[in-house]
């Protein structure tokens, strides 16, 4: 599990496609206590560490992960948000994020709003009812509060700190981001007999 509070921005150093796709990710995160098999959220996708050194680690992604996320578009030099897994006793600063991407969202608007930046996103219609005003979503691993919802579009405000310390700083209209609904919404839908995304 994660909190959606980004620890740093990593960079794709290599991509190897053979069976599953293998990525080497450069990072300034402190990896001294990392272990093989640890989980790291990479642009919001929970991936397993299969190798690491002081300033890089390697993960693998299956065809299912590539189909549901933006990982298939990653190239050498792509910048991605990174978060180490939540540990017992850690502060829960955002909301509980599983790292299980539901769909891909598209940025349809970006404009200044006070000191913040207003972003609007479009998601597949099948996920429209899973987003609620003042609820939480994760986009490329960042925990965000939804301001308003109109059909399959919703808006958020990104404060300057988040803009500076995540990939939202360089995000532009047309970019696609990994979208994860709030876990609570998933279980409420299940209790009501409605599968989200179906």
Q: pLDDT-based confidence at 93, cuts 50/70/90?
A: confident
Which of 84, 112, 127 is where one domain is finished?
A: 84
Which of 57, 84, 111 is where one domain is finished?
A: 84
Mean pLDDT of 97-126: 95
Give the C-alpha separation, 67 to 136, whole Å. 24
Do 74 and 19 reside in the same domain of the chain? yes
Do 137 and 170 reside in the same domain of the chain? yes
Q: In whole angstroms, what separates CA 164 from the centre of its chain?
A: 16
Residue 30 clears pLDDT 80, i.e. is over it: yes
Q: Is 197 among the domain residues?
A: no
Least confident of 70-79, 80-89, 150-159, 160-169: 80-89
Do 80 and 107 reside in the same domain of the chain? no
Q: Is 92 among the domain residues?
A: no
Do 180 and 111 reside in the same domain of the chain? yes
Instruction: Give, in order, the Cα–Cα distances in Å from 24 to each of 36, 84, 149, 184, 188.
Output: 14, 16, 37, 33, 37
Residue 184 clears pLDDT 80, i.e. is over it: no
What's the distance, Cα to Cα, between the start and end of the chain in Å?
Answer: 24
Check if the beta carbon of residue 123 is closer than 8 Å to that of residue 156.
no
pTM of the model: 0.91
Q: pLDDT-based confidence at 156, cuts 50/70/90?
A: very high
User: What pLDDT does 1 receive?
Assistant: 86
Do 114 and 187 reside in the same domain of the chain? yes
Q: Is 98 among the domain residues?
A: no
Do 15 and 74 reside in the same domain of the chain? yes
User: What pLDDT does 80 receive?
Assistant: 98
Residue 94 clears pLDDT 80, i.e. is over it: no
Q: Is 97 among the domain residues?
A: no
Do 183 and 113 reside in the same domain of the chain? yes
Least confident of 123-127, 156-160, 174-178, 188-192: 188-192
| Domain around 43 | 8-84
Do 76 and 39 reside in the same domain of the chain? yes
CATH code at position 117: 2.40.30.20
Higher pLDDT, 184 or 172: 172
Q: Is 3 among the domain residues?
A: no
Higher pLDDT, 185 or 157: 157
* H or E segment to which residue 134 belongs: none
* Residue 169 tokens, joined: 């700083």
List all residues 6 or more positions away from 146 whose beta carbon is below 8 Å from its beta carbon: 131, 132, 133, 134, 135, 136, 137, 154, 155, 156
Mean pLDDT of 143-156: 96
| Buried residues in 6-17 as b, exposed as e (16+ CB within 10 A) | bbebbbbbebee
Which of 84, 112, 140 is where one domain is finished?
A: 84
Q: pLDDT-based confidence at 191, cuts 50/70/90?
A: confident
The number of domains in the chain is 2
User: What pLDDT does 8 receive?
Assistant: 95
Q: Is 93 among the domain residues?
A: no
């Amino acid at each position: 599990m994660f909190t959606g509070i980004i620890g740093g921005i990593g960079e794709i150093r290599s991509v190897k496609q053979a069976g599953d796709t293998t990525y080497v990710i450069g990072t300034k995160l402190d990896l001294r206590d990392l272990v093989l098999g640890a989980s790291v959220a990479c642009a919001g996708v929970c991936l397993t560490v299969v190798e690491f050194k002081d300033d890089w680690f390697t993960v693998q992604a299956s065809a299912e992960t590539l189909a549901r996320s933006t990982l298939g578009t990653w190239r050498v030099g792509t910048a991605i948000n990174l978060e180490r897994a939540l540990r017992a006793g850690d502060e829960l600063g955002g909301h509980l994020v599983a790292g299980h991407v539901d769909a891909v969202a598209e940025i349809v608007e970006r404009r200044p709003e006070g000191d913040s930046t207003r972003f609007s996103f479009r998601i597949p219609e099948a996920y429209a009812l899973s987003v609620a005003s003042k609820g939480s979503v994760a986009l490329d691993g960042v925990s965000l509060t939804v301001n308003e919802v109109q059909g399959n579009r919703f808006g958020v405000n990104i404060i300057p700190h988040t803009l500076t310390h995540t990939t939202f700083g360089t995000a532009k209209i047309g970019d696609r981001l990994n979208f994860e609904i709030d876990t609570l919404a998933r279980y409420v839908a299940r209790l009501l007999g409605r599968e989200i995304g179906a």
